[in-house]
Structure 1
Amino acid sequence: MKNTLSHIIYDKTSQLPNTWNDLGQKNIFLSKEYLEVLEKSAPTNMTCHFIGLFQDNILVGIAVSQFLDLNKLESFGDRDQCIKAHVRKFILKSFSSHVLLIGNNMLTGQNSFILSDSITASQGIQAFKKAADELKIKFKSIGKKVHITTFKDFFKKDLENFNTIAFKNNYKYCIQPNMVFEIQKNWKSEQDYINALSKKYRDQYKRARKKAEGIEKRKLHLDEIIRYEDVIYDLYFHVAKNAPFNTFFLTKNHFRVFKETLHDKFLFYGYFLDDKLIGFNTLIKNGSVMDTYFLGYDDSIQREKMLYLNMLYDMIAYSINKGFKEIIFSRTALEIKSSVGAKPIEMFGFMEHSNSQINKHVPKIFPKLEPEIVWQERNPFK
C-alpha cells in the first residue's frame, strides 16, 4: 500500500485535533491531559512538541517529541566523580548538548507514539522520522542546532520496524533495562504476594516493615501537595542530584500540575515521621498498568528505616489490591527492584549525530558514556 501519510507538528495542546484522544486514550502518556502537564510544567531545559499523522485527513498516529538543551543543566548528577563522569560531561556539553527525542525522556517504555490499525508500525515510524527532520529545521531557525536525534525505548520485537533506509545511519543502542513487575492472576491481596516469597525474601519483607514502624503513610490531596511544595521539591532534588546521570530536573510546580490535571489517575503518597514529611512517592494509573513516577526522601532516615524498600512494597500492595496487571518500576536501583520481584526487560533506541564524522564513531563513543551499572538479578519467589 502506498504510504500517503502527512504530518502536522503542534506547539500547544490547544491546537490538537478533537480526535487526538481517540488514540491517546490507549496510553495516558500520549493523552491530551498528560501532554498538558508537560506543556505547563516540563523541565526548564525541555521543549515539547506533539505530532499528528494523517491519512486522507484522518488522524492515524500521534507522538510526542522533546528537545533537550543540556547546556542549561547545572549538574548531570553528582554521585559519580570519576574521570569517566567528567569526560562524559565534557563530550555532552561540547558535541551533544542539543538532543531531539521522539519519545519521552521522563519515562521508561514505549511512550513515543500510538498508531491506528490502518497503518503499519514501519510506515508510522518513517513518517515520524520526517517530522523529526522538520523539527530539526525548526530549531535551527531559532539558533539551536540539533546534535543528536533519537527514537527511544522500544522492545526487541519492535526493532524490525526500524529496518529501513531512513535509519541506515542510526546507531542502535541498548541501555539500562526497564524493571517490570508482573502481578500473578491468583494474587488478590498483599498477603498472597508475601506467601509467594521464599523464606529469605519473606524475612527481608518483615525486617523492612519492622524498621518502618513509626512512619505514617498518607495519600496527599492537591491542597496538601501545594502546602508541602517546597519540602517535596527538596526531597526530590536530593535524590535526583545524587543519581549517576541526569538530563533534566523537574520544576517545583510539577507535582501540583500533575494532580490538578490528571486528578485520581495521579497518586501522591507522603511519608511522615513525627508529623514531618520525610519522603514521598508517586504513581500513575495507565489502564491496567501502574507506572511508578518520581520519588524523594531524606537520605539519613531512608537508610535507617529502609524507606525506599518499604515504598516498593507499598506500591506492590496497592497495585495488587486494585487489580492492576503489572507495575513499571523503570530504570535505576535495579538490584533492589529485582529483590522485590521485578524483572529486567531490554529496551532499545536509535540515534544519529548530525555531524557525519562524529556519527561514524558513535558506536565506539556511546558505550563509554553510559554509566556502568553492576548488579545481580534476584529471584525472591519460591
Structure 2
Amino acid sequence: MDTHSFEIFSSTAQLPETWDKVAHNNVFLQTHYLKVLEDSAPTNMQCFYIGIFEKSELIGVALAQYLNLNKLESFGERDQCLKTSIRNFIFKNFASHVLFLGNNMITGQNGYEFTKAIGFKDIADLLLECANAITNYFKDQKIAIHIVSFKDFYQHCAEELKKHQFSKIYEFNTQPNMIFELPKKWQTNEDYIAAFSKKYRDQYKRSHKKSAEIVTKELSLEEITRQEERIYELYHHVAKNAPFNTFFLAKNHFSTFKKQCGERFKLVGYFLEEKLVGFHTLLLNGNVLETYFLGYDDQVQKEKMLYLNMLYNMTEFGIENRFEKIIFGRTALEIKSSIGAEPIVMSGFIYHTNKWVNKLMPKIFPQLEPDLVWQQRHPFK
C-alpha cells in the first residue's frame, strides 16, 4: 500500500481524464455506463467512483454503491413464508444500510479494473481501506452503515484474497452465475440447433411454434422513450415477483442507458397485435455479451413461452455476432441450463459493522438466503 493511494469521487464530472483508458476492458466501469447510474440510479442507491493511483498515475478504477433498504417498496413478493418474513424483518431493522464494493445491479466480477499488475494483498488492503473511508463518510452524516459486502469474485480471485485480510471476512456463495461459453465452430444459429439432443431440439421447435404470432424488434432511443411507461410496467412486474430485491430501477433507466451507450446497448421488444408484451436487454462488453434486465406480461409469457424464446434469441445474437460467451446471470437457473448455460460459482465477502453481530454472520447469513433447489440440464448431444 506504500506506493498506492485512492481517491473517492461522488460524481462522474470529477473523474480523471484517463479514467476510461484504465477501464478499457470493462464497459461497466467506463464513464458512459457510470453516467447511466448517475442519471438513473435506483432511488435507494448512491454510487461512488474510486480512483486508485500509483504515485500520481491512475492505474485502477473501482465502483461502490450504498443502498438504503428502508426506501425499498418490497424485498420481493414471490416467496411468502415464515423464513421470508424473518429475513425481511432482519434486513429492515439490522441491515438496512448496506455498502457494496462492486456492482449490485449485475452479476460478475465487475468491481474493479487495473492497467498494471497489482498483488492481491494490495487489492485486499485497498478494498478494505475504501470501505472504511465510505463508512466514515456516512458516519459523519449520522448514517451508520450496517453491512459491507465485497461482491462477485471468481474462485481464483476469492482464494487469493483469502490469503490476506479477506481471511477474516465471512465468505458466501449465492446462486451461481449462468455463463454460456460459445463454441467457435458455431457460425450460425442453425449450428446451435443442430448441437441439441432430440429432446431439446424439440423444445426449441415447440417454443418457436408457440411464439409464432410474436413480432420482435430492436427499439431505437425514440421508441424506447415512447414506450417508457410500458417498458417499466413489464420490468416492474418481473422484478417485484423475484425472490429477493435490494433495489428497483428508475423509470427512465432504459432510455438513459440507450442515450449514453448507443449501439452497445440493445433493447429488443416483443409485440403481440402491435402491443408491447415483453422486452429483453443486452450490453456488448468487448467479446462478452451481457444480458441485462427484462420484462414481460405474465399471461403472454405462459401462453407463448416468451421467456424461453428470449433466452434463445439472446443466444442467437451472441452466436451470429461472434461473442465468446454470454453472461446470463443469476435466477431461473434450470431454464438457462436448458439452453446451454452452465453454473459458475462466485464468491462474495460480507461483514457487519457491529462486531457482536459479525461474529454470528456464519450462522445468520445462510438463514437469509432463499432456498435453492434446481436440476441442471444438459441439452447437447
Same fold (TM over 0.5): yes
1:29 aligns with 2:28: yes
Partner of 2:212, secondary structure, is coil
Q: Normalized against structure 1, the TM-score is what?
A: 0.98
Determine the structure 2 residue equivalent to 1:379. Answer: 378
Mark the runs of 5 or more structure 1 residues left unpaired by the alignment: none
1:14 aligns with 2:10: no
Determine the structure 1 residue equivalent to 2:104. Answer: 105
After TM superposition, list the pairs within 5 Å mapping 1:256-271 onto structure 2: 256-271=255-270
Contact 1:115 1:121 in 2 (8 A): no
After TM superposition, list the pairs within 5 Å mapping 1:143-292 onto structure 2: 143-163=142-162, 166-292=165-291
Give distance in 1, aligned partners of 2:320 and 2:254: 24
Determine the structure 2 residue equivalent to 1:322. Answer: 321
After TM superposition, list the pairs within 5 Å mapping 1:15-94 onto structure 2: 15-94=14-93
Give distance in 2, aligned partners of 1:125 and 1:43: 28
Give distance in 1, aligned partners of 2:166 and 2:153: 14
Give distance in 1, aligned partners of 2:23 and 2:366: 34
Determine the structure 1 residue equivalent to 2:363. Answer: 364
Partner of 1:140, secondary structure, is helix
Partner of 1:6, secondary structure, is strand
* Residue 161 of structure 1, CA deviation: 3.0
- Please tell me the root mean square deviation across aligned C-alpha atoms, in Å: 1.0
Give distance in 1, aligned partners of 2:163 and 2:321: 42
Contact 1:29 1:111 in 2 (8 A): yes
Give distance in 2, aligned partners of 1:25 and 1:264: 17
* Residue 4 of structure 1, CA deviation: 1.7
Give distance in 1, aligned partners of 2:152 and 2:166: 16
Give distance in 1, aligned partners of 2:86 and 2:3: 45
Identity of aligned residues (%): 53
Contact 2:50 2:62 in 1 (8 A): yes
Q: Could you list the per-position Cα deviations for residues 96-116 of structure 1 after superposition, in whole angstroms to 9, with x for gaps in the alignment?
A: 111101000000000000122
Give distance in 2, aligned partners of 1:54 and 1:172: 28
**What amino acid is aligned across from residue 324 of structure 1 in structure 2?**
F
Change in Cα spacing, 1:97 to 1:89, as seen in structure 2 (3 Å) is same
Q: Could you list the per-position Cα deviations for residues 201-238 of structure 1 after superposition, in whole angstroms to 9, with x for gaps in the alignment?
A: 00000000000011000000000000000000000000
* Residue 168 of structure 1, CA deviation: 4.2
Determine the structure 2 residue equivalent to 1:338. Answer: 337
Contact 2:23 2:114 in 1 (8 A): no
Partner of 2:319, secondary structure, is helix
Q: Could you list the per-position Cα deviations for residues 165-200 of structure 1 after superposition, in whole angstroms to 9, with x for gaps in the alignment?
A: 533431000110000011101000000000000000
Mark the runs of 5 or more structure 2 residues left unpaired by the alignment: none
* Residue 381 of structure 1, CA deviation: 0.2
Give distance in 1, aligned partners of 2:189 and 2:361: 46
Give distance in 1, aligned partners of 2:145 and 2:161: 21
Determine the structure 2 residue equivalent to 1:119. Answer: 118
Partner of 1:186, secondary structure, is coil
**What amino acid is aligned across from residue 242 of structure 1 in structure 2?**
N
Give distance in 2, aligned partners of 1:84 and 1:245: 12
Contact 2:124 2:166 in 1 (8 A): no
Change in Cα spacing, 1:114 to 1:214, as seen in structure 2 (3 Å) is same
Contact 2:52 2:61 in 1 (8 A): yes
Give distance in 2, aligned partners of 1:121 and 1:284: 29
Contact 1:61 1:124 in 2 (8 A): no
* Residue 164 of structure 1, CA deviation: 5.2
